[in-house]
Structure formats: C-alpha cells, structure tokens
C-alpha cells in the first residue's frame, strides 16, 4: 500500500511540474514578445501604427516567405498597419503553435498563419477568434476553424499545370526516341520514321511532405493524375509515384533526396511542390552528375531556380505571385477589422517559367553573368 501511495504522489508531482513548465514557457514567451514590442516602439517613435499584425510560418528564411512578407509589410504600411514576421523575432525553438499562443496572449490585432488541418491549430484559431483576433490562414488552410479568410493558390489548377508539363516532356522524349529508317527501292532513297516501342514508359516521381496535414497537397496530386489520365496520347505509358520527404528541416530534406539518388533507378521526371525540395533536387542532380537524365519540374522562382532553368538543369518551374499573397492577407484583415467580414478565399496568380521565357524573369541575365 505504501509503495502504491508513493507512486501516486510521484505522479501528482510530475503533473504539477509539467503544468509549471508549460506556464513558465508561456509567460517567458509573452515577456520576450512584450519586450520586443516595447523595443520596437522606442526605435520607431516617429511612426505610430493603427493596427499590429503578425505573420507566422515554419521556415521564414526562404526567399518565398521573405517575398510574401515583403508584400504584406508594404500593404500594411499603406493602410497604417505594421506587419511583423513573428518567427524572425525569436529563436527557432518556438513552434508555430507556440508563436500562435504568444500572439494571442499579446492581444495583437490580427494573425496571418501558415496553417494545417491539425486539431491543435484548429483550437488555437478558435481561441484567437474568441478573443476578438481575426485569423487569416496563408498557403495552408484549416477548413474546420473559424478563420476569417484563406489566402493561397488553386491547388487543382497547379496540379493540372504540372500534369501538362509531364505530357509535354513525354511527347518530347517520344520524338527523340523515333527511329529513322532508310529504304532503298529501285535506286531511290526514302526516309520514314517509326516510333520506338522501347523506352515509352515515363516514370514520374512527386515529392510530398511526409508530415503535412493539408488537403491542398492531396488536391494538387489529384490534379496531376487526372490531367495525365485524361490528356495523354495513346501508346504513352506514364507511371506516377508519390514519395514522402522528411521536411522537418533542411538537413532532413537533403538526406531524403540523397536517398532517392542513391537508388539504382531514377525517375524520368521529378515534381517538387515547394522551393526547398526544388533547390535540393537541383543540387543533387548536379552532385550526382545526372544533368540531362532527370527532368525537374520545380516550384517558385528564386534566383537559384531561374538560373538552373537557364542552364537547362531544371525543365520548368511554377511561379507564385507571392507579393500578391502578402497583400491579400493584409487586405483581408483590414476589411474584417473595418467591416466585420471579408472574402472567404483569395487565390494568388501563378505562371509557368521555362527556357523560353526565363530571360524575362532573370532581367536579361544569362548563365554567363
């Protein structure tokens, strides 16, 4: 009996310590955030903003997120609001959920968050809106929550564009595999062409985030598959495989992609659904001397990706109007704070960049620059 009582007391103490640690972490985060705001105010004493918004995402150091933030920041200044990239203000050990709690406790005027469909994110958005803080989900949605708006891309249309590019590559490969036959008859020479029956199966690998709880990724993959099935030419076989990539951090992504290139057989086409995957696959193709053997369909238009297209290492990429996405976020929050409602969805524009038009995005630069 004494032993059981002692164990019970230990469990109680463990529970109390856990609660205390959570409380200390939350209080410390709020204190640091409040200190940052006060420090920001003293530095910006010449400017007073009517509203204060925060943007929260996992990997804000990528050029994609920096561009989204720049669009939001500029739009905020035009409306006398300040937009802060919250993850850029603290050490990386704070998760998205931690930053959401800090923002809610600090009573900001609006939250822009790269969300997912997890229950924890749903509860945090509910908590924010219950406290009178409007939430805009960005890039990744949480359809079960009462967020005021979602800003993102048309996942199905994006998938269809990837599907069309796969079919284009398949057609080019078929043309390259055609066989010229020289026939001689009565001293006359005629040339005909015959499609090779070998090598007509195109293998496509789609890299997906192993831990993403986002319906958009599934919708995008459906768009790829349906476009290929509905529009492919007879005689062309296209095999599609979805490969999960550990996207916990940059190192884990590099390891996952390195494992792909260590396999005996590589796919003809690799489709990347984010900027980091694109740059890592591009680097792997170069490192393993597979340039020309693997066609890369990328995502976003960073300088690295554009130069890789110009050098014929990446076949094409999908450009997202990230500045537009940032502006949409601020517009949605401002409308909601002013009128009490806003549009449920804002969809950003996308564009295909390939060898033919990459010069326009490079500003006239070439691979020799």
Distance CA 176, CA 190 (A): 20
Distance CA 130, CA 207 (A): 37
Q: Which residues of 222-261 are buried (b: 16+ CB within 10 A; e: fewer)?
A: ebbbebbeeebeeebebebeebebbbeeeeebbebbeebe
- From 34-38, 136-140, 248-252, the region with the lowest mean pLDDT: 34-38
pLDDT of residue 113: 97
- 41 pLDDT exceeds 90? no
Q: Quote the mean pLDDT of the chain.
A: 83
Domain coordinates of the chain in residue numbers? 2-151+324-333+337-347, 155-322+349-362
Q: pLDDT tier at 170 (50, 70, 90 boundaries)?
A: very high
> Cα 129–131–136 angle (5° rounding)?
30
Q: What is the mean pLDDT of residues 159-175?
A: 90
More confidently predicted of 363 and 156: 156
Q: What is the pTM assigned to this prediction? A: 0.79
Q: pLDDT tier at 344 (50, 70, 90 boundaries)?
A: very high
Structural class in CATH, domain 2-151+324-333+337-347: alpha beta
Q: How far is CA 75 from CA 78, 83, 325, 328, in A?
A: 5, 9, 11, 9
- From 4-13, 134-143, 207-216, the region with the lowest mean pLDDT: 4-13
pLDDT of residue 249: 84
Q: pLDDT tier at 195 (50, 70, 90 boundaries)?
A: very low
Q: Is the dihedral of CA 91, 319, 272, 157 positive or negative?
A: positive
Q: pLDDT tier at 13 (50, 70, 90 boundaries)?
A: low
Domains 2-151+324-333+337-347 and 155-322+349-362 fall in the same CATH topology: yes
Residue 361, C-beta contacts closer than 8 angstroms, at least 6 positions apart: 301, 306, 319, 353
Give the model confidence (pLDDT) of 349-360 as tens digits. 999 999 999 999
3-state SS, the chain, equals CHHHHHHHHHHHHHHHHHHHHHHHHHHHHHHHHHHHHHHHHHHCCCCCCCEEEEEECCCCCCHHHHHHHHHHHHHHHHCCEEEEEHHHHCCCCCCHHHHHHHHHHCCCCEEEECCCCCHHHHHHHHHHHHCCCCEEEECCCCCCCCCCEEEECCHHHHHHHHHHHHHHHHHHHHHHCCEEEEEEECCEEEEEEECCCCCCEEEEEEEEECCCCCHHHHHHHHHHHHHHHHHCCCCCEEEEEEEEECCCCHHHHHHHHHHHHCCCCCCCEEEECCHHHHHHHHHHHHHCCCCCCCEEEEECCCHHHHHHHHCCCCCEEEEECHHHHHHHHHHHHHHHHHHCCCCCEEECCEEEEECCCHHHHHCCCCCCC
Residue whose pair of structure tokens reads 């007073």 in the numeric block: 48
Q: What is the largest CA-CA distance in the chain?
A: 109
- From 52-66, 67-81, 298-312, 348-362, the region with the lowest mean pLDDT: 52-66
- 62 pLDDT exceeds 60? yes
Residue whose pair of structure tokens reads 């238009």 in the numeric block: 301
- 257 pLDDT exceeds 80? yes
Q: How far is CA 106 from CA 42, 48, 109, 142, 224, in A?
A: 18, 18, 9, 22, 42
Percent of the residues in the chain that have a pLDDT greater than 70, as a whole number = 76
Give the model confidence (pLDDT) of 139-158 as tens digits. 999 999 999 999 999 999 99
Q: pLDDT tier at 94 (50, 70, 90 boundaries)?
A: confident
Among 2-16, 187-201, 202-216, the range with the most confident prediction by mean pLDDT is 202-216
More confidently predicted of 91 and 47: 47
pLDDT of residue 194: 40
pLDDT of residue 20: 66
pLDDT of residue 26: 59
Looking at the domain that runs over 155-322+349-362, which CATH code has it been given? 3.40.50.2300
pLDDT of residue 217: 85
- 266 pLDDT exceeds 80? yes
């Amino acid at each position: 009996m004494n032993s059981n009582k002692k164990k019970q007391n230990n469990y109680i103490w463990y529970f109390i310590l856990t609660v205390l640690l959570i409380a200390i972490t939350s209080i410390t985060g709020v204190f640091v955030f409040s200190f940052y705001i006060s420090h920001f105010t003293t530095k910006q004493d010449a400017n007073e903003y009517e509203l204060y918004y925060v943007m929260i995402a996992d990997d804000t150091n990528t050029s994609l997120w920096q561009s989204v933030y720049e669009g939001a920041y500029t739009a905020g200044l035009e409306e006398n609001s300040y937009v802060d990239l919250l993850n850029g203000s603290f050490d990386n050990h704070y998760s998205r959920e931690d930053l959401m709690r800090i923002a809610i406790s600090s009573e900001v005027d609006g939250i822009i968050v790269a969300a997912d469909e997890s229950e924890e994110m749903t509860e945090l958005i509910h908590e924010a809106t219950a406290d009178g803080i409007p939430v805009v989900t960005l890039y990744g949605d949480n359809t079960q929550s009462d967020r005021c708006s979602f800003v993102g891309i048309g996942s199905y249309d994006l998938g269809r564009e990837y599907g069309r590019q796969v079919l284009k590559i398949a057609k080019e490969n078929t043309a390259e595999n055609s066989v010229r036959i020289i026939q001689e008859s009565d001293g006359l020479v005629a040339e005909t062409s015959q499609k090779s029956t070998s090598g007509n199966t195109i293998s496509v690998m789609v890299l997906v985030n192993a831990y993403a709880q986002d319906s958009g990724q599934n919708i995008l993959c459906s768009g790829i598959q349906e476009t290929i099935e509905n529009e492919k030419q007879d005689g062309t076989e296209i095999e599609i495989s979805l490969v999960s990539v550990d996207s916990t951090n940059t190192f884990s992504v590099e390891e996952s992609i390195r494992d792909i290139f260590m396999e005996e057989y590589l796919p003809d086409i690799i489709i990347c659904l984010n900027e980091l995957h694109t740059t890592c696959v591009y680097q792997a193709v170069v490192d393993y001397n597979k340039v020309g053997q693997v066609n890369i369909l990328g995502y976003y238009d960073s300088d690295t990706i554009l130069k890789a297209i110009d050098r014929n290492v990446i076949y094409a990429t999908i450009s997202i109007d990230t500045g537009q996405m940032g502006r949409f976020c601020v517009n949605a929050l401002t409308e909601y704070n002013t009128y009490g409602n806003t549009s449920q969805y804002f969809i950003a524009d996308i564009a295909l960049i390939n060898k033919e038009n990459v010069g326009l995005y490079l500003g006239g630069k070439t691979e020799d620059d």
